Amino acid sequence: MAKLRPVSHQDELSLVEHLDELRSRLFVAGAALVPALALCGWQNGRIIELLNRPLPRGQEPITLSPTEPFLTTATLVVYAALLLALPVILYQAYAFVLPAFSPTERRVALPLMLAAPILFVAGVLFAYFVVLPPAITVLLGFNADEFNTQLRAREYYSFASLTLISLGILFQVPIGVLAATRLGVVTPDQLRGGRRYAILGIAVLAALLPTIDPVTMILEMLPLIVLYEASILVARAFGGPPHETAERSAQLEGS
C-alpha cells in the first residue's frame, strides 16, 4: 500500500496516482473499522444494554430461534463498529477531495472537514437522546389494546442502529450546503428563496428514515431545518466562489 502523502492544489496526478491514493484512504478507513469491530465485539453486552435503555421499563427484545441471539449480536457489533468508525471514514472521504480546492477555498474547506466528525457525533447523540425514546414509545403504544406487541431483537437493533447512523450522516447538511456555494452551484439567496423546497426535501428524508410516526418525523426535521438555516448564514459569510470573495475583500479594503 502506498503511503498517504500531502497533495497540493497545484499537483497534477495521473489516473493511476489518484487510484493509488483512493486505495490508500480506503485502506485507512478499513483499518479504522478493524479495532472498532474488536472493541464492539468485546463490549457487545454494554452496547445491547445502551440500546435497551430507550425501551419501556421492564421490556426486553425477544429471539425466536437458537441461532438468533448470536446472529443478532454479530449484526449489532457490525453496526456499532461502523458507527464508531464513520467519523474516520468521513474524514478520509473529505481529505481525498480536499486537493481539488484552491488555497483560498481550502481555508474554508479544512475547518468544515474537521467539523464533519463533530457533526456526525452530534447527530448520533441527538438521535439517541431525543429521537429514539419517543419513537419507541409511540410505535409500541400504537393500538396497544388491540395487539399483543412483542419486540423482536433483530428488527429493533437494526431499527435503532440505522436511525443513529442516518441522523449522523444527515447532520452533514452544513458541509454540503457550503461546498455547493463555494463551487458556485447555488448562491445563499437561492438557498433562502428555495427554503420551502428544502423543507419539503427534509420532510422526505425524515420519512425515509426508519422512524415513521409523525411525532418522530417532526423531531428529526427540526434540527435539520435549523442546520439548513445556519448553513445559509455561514454560506453568506464565507461561502461565495473564490473570485467573489476576493472582490468583496477588495471592496472592503477600498472603503
Q: At what angle do helices 173-182 and 103-126 cross, to 10 degrees?
A: 160
Answer yes or no: is 252 within a domain. no
Higher pLDDT, 42 or 111: 42
Which tops the pLDDT comparison, 94 or 192? Answer: 192
For residue 251, pLDDT beyond 50: no
Residue environment code for 128-154, b if the CB has 16+ CB neighbours within 10 A, otherwise e: bebbbbbbbbebbeeeeeeeeeebebb
pLDDT over threshold 90, residue 213: no
Cell 499537483 -> residue: 11
For residue 8, tell me if it sits in a domain: no
Residue 54 placed within a domain:
yes
Instruction: State residue 2's pLDDT score.
Output: 47
Residue 151 covered by a domain: yes
- Do 224 and 126 form a contact (C-beta atoms < 8 A)? no
Residue 6 lies in a domain: no
Q: Model's pTM, two decimal places? A: 0.76
Cβ atoms of residues 184 and 152 within 8 Å: no
The more confidently predicted of residues 124 and 148 is 124
Res 10: pLDDT = 52
pLDDT at 111: 73
Residue 249 within a domain: no
Residue 249: its pLDDT value, please? 44
Q: Report if residue 137 sits inside a domain.
A: yes
Q: Is residue 167 part of a domain?
A: yes
Query: What pLDDT, on the 0 to 100 scale, is given for residue 252?
Result: 39
The domain total for the chain is 1
Residue 76 has pLDDT above 60, yes or no: yes
The C-alpha cell 409500541 sits at 140
pLDDT of 224 above 80? yes
pLDDT above 70 as % of the chain: 80
Residue with cell 435503555: 53
- pLDDT at 11 exceeding the cut of 60: no
Residue 41 to residue 39: CA distance in whole angstroms: 5
Q: Is the pLDDT of residue 253 over 80?
A: no
- Which residue segment(s) compose the domain that 89 sits in? 15-242
pLDDT at 48: 93
